[in-house]
Structure 1
Amino acid sequence: MSDILVIGSLNMDLVTVTNRMPTVGETIIGKRFDQIPGGKGANQAAAMARLNGNVTMIGRVGEDLFGKALIESLKKDGVNVNFIKEDKKLSTGIATITVDGDGNNSIIVIPGANYGVDKDDIDENINLFNKSKIVLSQLEIPIDTVEYCLKIAKENGNYTILNPAPAKVLSYNLIKNIDLLTPNETELEIISGMKINNFDDVIKASKLLIDKGVKELIVTLGSEGSLYINKDIEKKFNAYKVDAVDTTAAGDSFNGGIVVSVIEGKSMDEAIDFASKVGALTVMKEGAQSSLPYRDEIDNFKE
C-alpha cells in the first residue's frame, strides 16, 4: 500500500545555464547544458520519496530513451513506477529551461505523452485510490483527467491536493473536490480572476476560492514565504533565507514536504515549516529532480 498517489506529468528537462536571458532576436553564448529528469508530477513524486514518503505514480512517457531514463530515475528514488504507461503514439514530454545568473528561470513545456493521460488510466488503476490516503495532481496533464481523478479520489475518501500549475481557470466540478489548493501568486490570480497587487489581495483572492468550494489553501509567495488560509484561519509564514542558485522545482519540493508532513500526522504549522525548509534547500542546487533534498538534509537544516 502506498500512502500517496500522484497523477501527473513526467518530462525530461533540457536545461541551459546562462549569465542572462537573451532579448527577443538576440543570440548569446550560454555557460552549460544539462539533461535532468523533471515534470511536475515526477518532481513531486521524487521529492516525497526522498523525504521517506511511500509514493505511487500514474502517468505516461513515450517509447523512447527519455521515457526510460525518467522511469529509472523515479525507481532509483523509491517511487512505485509500475503504473506509468509507455505511450505508443506520443513522445516523452520535454521542458526547455533557461536559468540566468540570479537563479531565475523561464520554461517552455512540450507535453507529449503527458497529454495522453486519460480517464482510462484512472479507471484501470482504481484500486490505487482505495489503497492511498492522499491523492496529488497538477495541471500538466489534461484538465478533464485531473477533474475526473479528483472526483474518484473524493468518492474513495482520499484527501485531495491540487498544485494548479501551469494555471488554468478551474471549473466548479473540479474546485468542489479539492481539499487543499497550493498556488503561487501568479496562479492564484489566474484561477481567482482577481488582480493581485499586494498581500491583502492574496487574502481576498484566496477567500474567493474558499467561497467557491476549496477547503483550504497554501499560497506560496517566493522569498516572502507562504500564506495558509481556510474559512476560519489566515496565517502568514516566513521563508528561510538562503542564497538561491536555481528556483526550478522549488514549488514541487514544497508540495512534497506538505504531503509527507500531513501523512506523518503533523499540524499544518509544522507541515509548512518543514516544507519551507525543503523548498529552501531545493533552490540552493541546480535542476529539477537533481536539486531535491533528502530527509537527512532537512533534519540537519540550519538557516
Structure 2
Amino acid sequence: MILVVGSYGAGIAVRVPRVPEGGETIADSTLNIGHGGKSSNQAVAAARQGASVSLLTALGDDAFAESARTLWDEEGIDHSAVKASSGSTMAGVIIVEPSGENRIAIAPGVLDDLTPDDLEQHRSLFAAADLVVICLEVPTPVVERAITLAKENDSTVILNPAPATSLSHEVIAQVDYFVPNQSEHEFYVREGYQALPTQTVVLTQGVDGATITTGDGTETLAPLPQPQVVDTTGAGDTFVGTFAAALDAGEDLRPAVQRAIVASSLAVTVAEVIPSIPGRAAVDDALTNYLHTN
C-alpha cells in the first residue's frame, strides 16, 4: 500500500494569450476550476496505475472539500485519515501560457494547520504502508515527522521536495528516493545537501528526460517527446505518482523511472491536471513504443 502525505487544493487555472505586465489587464483568457495539490495529484496518478493508495492531508469546510472527497471516491483512494478543519481548503492560481508553460501561486488555507500530532493519530497507516510519498506543500515539521515516522515503521520513502524548502539534512538523509526537478535540485545543492551513497536521486528534467544517481553512478534516461505540449501543470506529479506505483508493484529502479517518464510525457498533451493523468493501459501502450526506440 502507498501512503501519500501532503496536500490537496483547488486548482484555479487561467489560460492567457500572454503573461500580463505589472498593472496590465488582459482579456481573452479562459477559466477552469479543478482539482490540485501535489499530493492529491500524485495519489491519483498512483491509483490510476493500479496501486492501493491512502491519502493524509487537510481540507476546509467549503465546497472544494466536498469536491475533493468525491474525486477520491471515484479514484478509489482511501481518505479516511484526511483532517477536516474550519477554514479554507488550499487553492492554487495557475497561469498557463499558450506554450503550456505555467506559473502558480498558492494560498495554503487549512494545510497550515496540519501538525505532527495529526500524523501520530494515524500511526497504523504508516505501519501498513510499504511506501510513503511526501511533498513540501505542508508545514516543515509535518514533512520531517512524516519522514521519520515512515522510517520508524520500515517504509520506503519518496520525497518530492516541491516547492523547495529548507529541511534538516539529517532528515533528508533518511529518504530512500529524492525526486526533485532541476530548480529544486539546484536549491538543495546551494543549501549544501549532498546525497548519501545509499540514497537514490531521480532528477526530473522535462524535455531532457530524467537522471538517476545512486552510489553506483549516474545515468540519464531519454525523454518521450510529444508533437504538441498543451499544459505542463500536472506532469511532475504524474511522474512521482507513477514512479511510486511502479516501485510498489515490484519494478526495478530503471524501468520504474522509464514508466514515469512515459506517463508524465503523456500528461503534457492534455489540458488540466486530473484529466491529463493517464491510466495504466495508456502508459503500457506508450511504454512499449518508448522502449523500442531507447
Give the aligned partner of residue 218 of structure 1: 202
Identify the residue that residue 78 of structure 1 maps to in structure 2.
76
* Residues 1:288 and 2:286 aligned together: no
Equivalent position of 2:248 in the other structure:
263
* Letter of the 1:156 counterpart: N
Give the deviation of 1:173 after TM superposition.
3.0
1:159 aligns with: 156
User: Which digits, 9 at most, give the CA deviation of each residue in 1:94-153, with x for residues without a partner?
Assistant: 000010100000000001111111112111100001111000100000011110011011
What corresponds to 2:108 in structure 1?
A: 111
Q: Does 1:184 align with 2:181?
A: yes
Q: How far apart are the structure 2 equivalents of 1:72 and 1:133?
A: 26
1:174 equivalent in structure 2: 171
Distance 1:86 1:148, change over 3 A: same
- Which of 232, 247, 251 is 2:216 aligned to? 232
Counterpart amino acid of 1:168?
A: T
Do the aligned partners of 1:10 and 1:59 also contact (CA within 8 Å) in 2? Answer: yes
- Provide the rounded CA distance (Å) in 2 between the counterparts of 1:109 and 1:71: 20
The aligned residue for residue 5 of structure 1 is 3
SS at match of 1:209: coil
- Separation in 1, partners of 2:198, 2:31: 40
For the aligned residues, what is the CA RMSD?
A: 1.4
Q: How does 1:131-146 map to 2 (within 5 A)?
A: 131-146=128-143
Deviation at 1:244, TM superposition (A): 1.1
2:173, 2:195 within 8 Å by CA — same for their partners in 1?
no
The Cα of 1:297 is off from its aligned counterpart by 1.1
Structure 2 CA distance for aligned equivalents of residues 244 and 277 of structure 1: 14
How many residues matched?
287
* 2:56 counterpart residue number: 58
Counterpart among 125, 128, 133 of residue 125 in structure 2: 128
| 1:170–1:191 contact (8 Å) kept in structure 2 | no
1:300 match: secondary structure: helix
**Cα deviation, residue 170, structure 1:** 2.1
Listed as ranges, the gaps of 5+ residues in structure 2 are none
Q: Name the CA shift for 1:214/1:41 in 2 (closer, same or farther; >3 Å).
A: farther
d(CA) in 1 for partners of 2:188 and 2:92? 23
* 2:57 counterpart SS class: strand
Identity of aligned pairs, percent?
Answer: 30
| Cα separation, 1, equivalents of 2:69 and 2:161 | 24
Aligned residue in 1 for 2:283: 298
1:223·1:241 contact (CA, 8 Å) conserved in 2? yes
Mapped contact 2:198–2:215 kept (Cα < 8 A): no
In structure 1, what residue type is equivalent to 2:100?
G
